[in-house]
Amino acid sequence: MTEDLPEAAPLPAPSFFRHVNVVLATYAVEGALAFAQGALVARALGPSGRGVYAIFVLSAGFAQLVLGLGIGSAAIYYINRREVALREVVAAAHVMVLWSLAVTAALVGAVAPFIGTGAIGGGVPVWLFIFAVPALVYSAMLRLILQGLSRFVEMGIATVIQPLVVLALLAFAMRAGSPTPEQVIVFWMVAHLCVAGFALLRIGPRDVDLAQIVRPRIATIRRLARFGVQGESGNALQMLNYRLDQYIVRGFVGLAGVGIYAVGVSMSEAVFLLANAVAIVLVPRLTSADPDEARAIAPVACRNTMLVAALGAAVLAAGAAFVIPAVFGSGFRGSVQALWWLLPGTVALTGSKVLTSYIFSQGRPLVNTIITVASLAVTLVALFALVPAFGVDGAAGASSLAYTAHFCVALYAYRRISGQPVLGAIVPRAADARLYVDAARGVLSRVGRGPGAQPEAARPDGPYGRAGG
């Protein structure tokens, strides 16, 4: 457990870092737009309205994970293994959208007469879920298919579209008056439909087989779902792990507490920018790589992702007391301390994102689910111990503990599967400086070539071929 890796361990290929840079750049743009969107939502709705919005989006997101059955995640695996044709995957995605629409409509129809608008609060009708959940399923699955094809530019554009559309509609609504939580939720739904439309166009209408949608290939869907459910159950549990705290805060503190806490959470997620970019590129890369190459890439990516995340968290912690009240309003001052409590666990979770990408790529999605179950147990105990006594700050501290537990268990699983020492995934090396030097040289080289230069990854003989897009 304490032995070291050789100092000259192989580093990922340059194409990997070019793709990370593409995803990171688009996520940085998306993050800036999401920050502006969050600020407008907070100022337009106040703490209570922001809490209503957070609870709705969270509930729809959880329903999407459950009803999607992991088809999108399975698509990444089988596309890169070349075991399922793209047309079959796209058809299966459309079948799952129709399935989610039918199930959501049935569930809402059954419970709506009894709960009315009380389930969400703020006068938001529960029937909005009938449209929200399928829209979210559609956009999520098509973006995952783009990821499976390693078409990171198109996936990045789709990622940026969502906050851009919400921001534009919200700004227009604020000029016309005071938007309600229901209106903001509708804007969010429209944005996801725009994402799905763009992604479908980029995948290509030629790959949409209407015959397979009308008469689904059950064997293909069953195969995708069998693999996908193993991983997606972990994602659903992980979402509970990430967001159960908001439901607990609503119960013990109220909707205003949810709004304050949600702002702190959204700010802490800025630390995930690099981790998300690395994880997105890692999954198809590691899945198609041989075991030795995957073992070489994973620890380098993990330790450097955590290093950059820790530096970013320190900057964010230093500026939070000035930025949050100025941008979100004085009513959200309580978000500052919540953010401070969240940041240590958030840095640990960036490491988890990389390690669980490696575990998934080795065909072990159920292991990720087990990791999340262990972390969720810590979440439940910590939340019920700390939220009643410390409110929003207690929820932040409990989440930070749970994130750290998730990383520790993921590290153990990584050690068992890869056979590599855990220190190799945590402790930065002097040799890693080459990564930053090469990245800087690459950026300077591309700037020198000018905007018309064709990147290597996009050439016909590039490492990803047609899928590199």
Q: How confident is the model at residue 23 (pLDDT cuts 50, 70, 90)?
A: low
Inside any domain, residue 458: no
Inside any domain, residue 366: yes
Inside any domain, residue 468: no
Q: What is the mean pLDDT of residues 270-298?
A: 78
Q: For the chain, how many structural domains are there in total?
A: 1
Q: Which domain holds residue 181?
A: 14-443
Q: Is the pLDDT of residue 184 over 60?
A: yes
The pLDDT value given to residue 34: 79
Higher pLDDT residue, 196 or 112? 196
Rounded to 5°, the CA angle 393-396-401 comes to: 125
Higher pLDDT residue, 435 or 341? 341
The pLDDT value given to residue 418: 92
The pLDDT value given to residue 132: 95
pLDDT > 90: percent of the chain: 37
Inside any domain, residue 466: no
Q: What is the mean pLDDT of residues 262-276?
A: 82
The pLDDT value given to residue 449: 52
Inside any domain, residue 105: yes
Mean pLDDT of the chain: 82
The amino acid at residue 7 is: E
Higher pLDDT residue, 166 or 26? 166
Higher pLDDT residue, 255 or 123? 255
State the pTM of this model. 0.74
The pLDDT value given to residue 450: 47
Of the given ranges (238-242, 298-302, 337-341), which has the lowest mean pLDDT?
238-242
CA distances from 370 to 124, 162, 192, 366, 409 (A): 35, 32, 31, 6, 9
Q: Yes or no: say if 175 and 102 are a contact pair by the CB < 8 Å rule.
A: no
Inside any domain, residue 89: yes
Inside any domain, residue 59: yes
Inside any domain, residue 337: yes
Please list, residue by residue across 368-380, b when 16 or more beta carbons sit within 10 angstroms of its beta carbon and e when fewer do. bbebbebbbebbe
